[in-house]
Amino acid sequence: MSDRLKIALLLAPALSIIGILFFGGLLIGFMRSFNYMPVIGLVDPDLSAYVAVFTSKEFYLSFLLTFHIAFTSTVISSILAIGAALLLRRTFIGRSLINFLFQLNLTVPHLVGAIGMLYLFSQSGSFARLGAEWNLISKPSDFPAMVFDPYAIGIILQYIWKEVPFIGVIVLANMQSLGEDYESVARSLGASKWQAFIHVLMPLIFPGVLSASVIVFAFTFGAYEIPAILGASFPKALPVLAYQKYTDVDLAARPEAMAMAITIALLSALMIYFYVRYTRRRIRS
């Protein structure tokens, strides 16, 4: 048996799962988005679902909200993760413990974190009650709206809480493999600490930061459960809106849900493309 065949056979189980479940689902979704659903008698493909999506004001509001959530979460998480990695690569007493605690919430599911956010930050949550108890606010409902709010603060907080260690672990591993010699060279050539960070360390860790932040952006742009739990009723995040259409009692609404899902995927890919291009160009300059 040739090596090529062996490799193909070994990869076959994984590839078939990806092929059938992922690309199969994508293909069905793609066909349905063009109103092609033979099960309910829709056999003439058309663009009506896309027209409905793109002429809906709700879609654009949802898109803006989703972009805001994904962009803000990614940028803040990346900045905090780089800062945390810079601290954690230093040698200090208790570093192992701090490192362990930093990574601990990687194991906590998003849903659990979201419920925690509800308990802590809602207007009937722990912080609101403590604020009222300590007379910082007159009653719990005076606590600033941080969940179910139009700015999606609770959602963003939840993503930051979860994604900072995710990006941080990748960046820290990257920094540790690089060591500090490049920065030492820069310092001895006359760079200040800040210049060494901006001109030397950042470009070196950039591929790691970029990979991790792209994953975070793609995830937060397409994730359903956190906006569903912590989001406001209007506007909804795009995945929540798409799911709502998909679960509509009227089966004829499904093509619109699929058009929205395909649009989310395309927009996500497009934004990642521009994000990567822009950040690469920025870092090179």
Partner 1 sequence: MTHVSIKELSKTYPGSSEPALDRLSLEIPTGELTALLGPSGCGKTTTMKMIAGLLDPSSGDVLFDDRSVLDDKPEHRGVVMVFQNYLLFPYMSVADNVGFGLKMRKVPKPEIDRRVGEMLELVKLPDLGNRRPSALSGGQQQRVALARALIVQPNVLLLDEPLSNLDAHLRFEMRDLIRGLQQKMGITTIFVTHDQEEAVVLADKVALILDGQLKQYEDADVFYKRPVDEATARFFGGQNFIPGSSNGSVFESALGRLVLPEGAISGAGKLTVRPENIRINGLDKGENSLKAVVSERLFLGTQTRLRLLVGEEKIDAIANPNEVENLSVGDAVNITLPPSSLWVLPT
Q: Are 200 and 182 in contact (CB under 8 A)?
A: yes
- The radius of gyration of the chain from alpha carbons, rounded to an integer in Å, stands at 23
> Counting contacts by CB under 8 A, is residue 124 touching partner 1?
no
Q: 203, 283 in Cβ contact below 8 A?
A: yes
For tokens 């912080």, the residue is 127
- Percent composition of the chain: helix, strand, coil (DSSP 3-state, to 5): 80, 0, 20
Residue 6 or 277 having the CB closest to partner 1: 277
Specify burial of residue 36 (Cβ count, 10 A radius: 0-12, 13-18, 19+). Answer: middle
Binding partner 1 (rule: CB under 8 A), the pick from 39, 94, 284, 285 is: 284
Tokens found for residue 53: 């999506």
Q: Under the criterion CB under 8 A, does residue 94 sit at the interface with partner 1?
A: no
Shortest distance (Å) from residue 213 CB to partner 1: 18
Owner of token pair 């800040």: 194
Q: Which of 56, 99, 195, 211 binds partner 1 (CB under 8 A)?
A: 195
List 189, 251, 269, 270, residue binding partner 1 (CB under 8 A): 189
Rounded to the nearest whole angstrom, what is the least distance from the CB of residue 152 to partner 1 in the complex?
36
* Choice between 192 and 247, CB closer to partner 1: 192
d(CA 21, CA 269): 20
Query: Should residue 2 be labelled a site residue for partner 1 when binding is judged by CB under 8 A?
Result: no
Q: How many residues bind partner 1 (CB under 8 A)?
A: 18
Question: Which C-beta is closer to partner 1: that of 4 or that of 284?
Answer: 284
Please report how close the Cβ of residue 209 comes to partner 1 at its closest, in angstroms. Answer: 14
Residue 91 sits in the site that holds partner 1 (CB under 8 A):
yes
Nearer to partner 1, 16 or 192 (CB): 192
- What is the footprint of partner 1 within residues 163-182 (CB under 8 A)? 181-182
Give one DSSP letter per residue of 170-206, joined into a string.
HHHHHHHHH-SHHHHHHHHTT--HHHHIIIIIHHHHH
| 190 counts as binding partner 1 under rule CB under 8 A | yes
In this structure, the number of other CB atoms found within 10 A of the CB of residue 262 comes to: 20
* Interaction site with partner 1 (CB under 8 A): 91, 181-182, 184-192, 195, 199-200, 203-204, 284
